Amino acid sequence: LTDKLQDAFKGLRSKGTLTEDDVKAALKEVKMALLEADVNFKVVKQFVSSVQERAVGEEVLNGLNPAQMVVKIVNEEMTKLMGSETTELMLQDSKYITVIMMCGLQGAGKTTTAAKLAGKLKGKRKPLLVACDIYRPAAIDQLEVNAKKQEVDFFSMGTDVSSVKIAKSAMDYAKEHGHNVVILDTAGRLQIDEAMMKELRDIKDAVTVHHTLLVVDAMTGQEAVNVAEQFNEKVGINGIILSKMDGDSRGGAALSTKAVTGKPILFVGMGEKLSDLEQFYPDRMASRILGMGDVLSLIDKAVEANAERDAEKDREMVSKMKKGKIDFEMYLESMKQMRNMGGLASIMGMLPGMGKISDDQLPDEKQLARIEAIVLSMTPEERRNPKLMSPQRKFRIAKGSGNDIADVNRFIKQFEQMQKMMKQMPGLMGGKRGFGKFG
Ligand code: GDP
Ligand code: MG
Q: Which domains, and CATH codes, for the chain?
A: 3-81 (1.20.120.140), 98-281 (3.40.50.300), 313-438 (1.10.260.30)
Q: Which residues are annotated as a binding site?
A: 104-111, 185-189, 243-246
**How high is the pLDDT of residue 352?**
46
Mutate-to-test residue for ligand 1 from 106, 112, 227, highest number of ligand atoms within 8 A of CB = 112
Q: Please answer whether residues 110 and 103 qualify as being in contact, where contact means their C-beta atoms are separated by less than 8 angstroms.
A: yes
Instruction: Please tell me the distance from the alpha carbon of residue 370 to that of residue 376, in angstroms, as a whole number.
Output: 10
Which residues make beta-bridge pairs with 155? 130
| Distance of CA 272 from the midpoint of ligand 1 (Å) | 6
Report whether residue 221 contacts ligand 1, using a CB cutoff of 6 Å: no
The mean per-residue pLDDT over the stretch 371-377 comes to 87
Which pLDDT band holds residue 372 (cuts at 50, 70, 90)?
confident
Among residues 185, 135, 184, the alpha carbon closest in space to that of 158 is found at: 135
Give the 3-state secondary structure of residue 297.
Answer: helix
- The listed range with the strongest mean pLDDT (56-70, 93-107, 286-300, 408-422) is 93-107
For residue 215, give the ligand nearest its CA.
Answer: 1
For residue 390, pLDDT over 80 is answered with yes
Mutate-to-test residue for ligand 1 from 101, 242, 272, highest number of ligand atoms within 8 A of CB = 272
| Distance of CA 292 from the midpoint of ligand 1 (Å) | 29
- Chain mean pLDDT for the chain: 82
The mean-pLDDT minimum among 128-137, 268-277, 300-309, 373-382 falls in 300-309
| Distance of CA 152 from the midpoint of ligand 1 (Å) | 19
The ligand 1 atom at the shortest distance from the C-alpha of residue 245 is 23
**How high is the pLDDT of residue 359?**
54
The mean per-residue pLDDT over the stretch 129-143 comes to 94
Strand-by-strand arrangement of the 265-269 sheet = 153-155, 127-131, 181-185, 98-103, 211-217, 239-243, 265-269, 277-279
**How high is the pLDDT of residue 433?**
39
Report whether residue 116 contacts ligand 1, using a CB cutoff of 6 Å: no
User: Based on the number of CB atoms within 10 Å of its own CB, is 121 exposed (0-12), middle (13-18) or buried (19 or more)?
Assistant: buried
Report whether residue 269 contacts ligand 1, using a CB cutoff of 6 Å: yes
For residue 420, pLDDT over 80 is answered with no
Name the percent of the chain lying above pLDDT 90.
39
The mean per-residue pLDDT over the stretch 375-399 comes to 89
For residue 145, pLDDT over 90 is answered with yes
Report whether residue 112 contacts ligand 1, using a CB cutoff of 6 Å: yes
Which pLDDT band holds residue 208 (cuts at 50, 70, 90)?
very high
Among residues 217, 225, 265, the alpha carbon closest in space to that of 109 is found at: 217
Report whether residue 401 contacts ligand 1, using a CB cutoff of 6 Å: no
| Distance of CA 265 from the midpoint of ligand 1 (Å) | 17
The ligand 1 atom at the shortest distance from the C-alpha of residue 276 is 23
For residue 134, give the ligand nearest its CA.
Answer: 2
Which residues make beta-bridge pairs with 17? 59
Give the number of other Cβ atoms within 10 Å of residue 235's Cβ: 21
For residue 256, pLDDT over 70 is answered with yes
**How high is the pLDDT of residue 438?**
35
Report whether residue 244 contacts ligand 1, using a CB cutoff of 6 Å: yes
For residue 8, pLDDT over 80 is answered with no
For residue 103, give the ligand nearest its CA.
Answer: 1
More confident call, 302 vs 343? 302
**How high is the pLDDT of residue 425?**
60
Question: What residues have CB less than 8 Å from 86, skipping those under 6 apart?
Answer: 279, 280, 281, 282
More confident call, 171 vs 353? 171
Helix, strand, coil share of the chain (percent; to 5)? 60, 10, 30
Which pLDDT band holds residue 9 (cuts at 50, 70, 90)?
very low
The mean per-residue pLDDT over the stretch 369-396 comes to 87
**How high is the pLDDT of residue 236?**
96
The ligand 1 atom at the shortest distance from the C-alpha of residue 112 is 7
For residue 315, pLDDT over 50 is answered with yes
| Distance of CA 148 from the midpoint of ligand 1 (Å) | 17
Report whether residue 276 contacts ligand 1, using a CB cutoff of 6 Å: yes
The ligand 1 atom at the shortest distance from the C-alpha of residue 114 is 7
Name the percent of the chain lying above pLDDT 70.
82
For residue 110, give the ligand nearest its CA.
Answer: 1
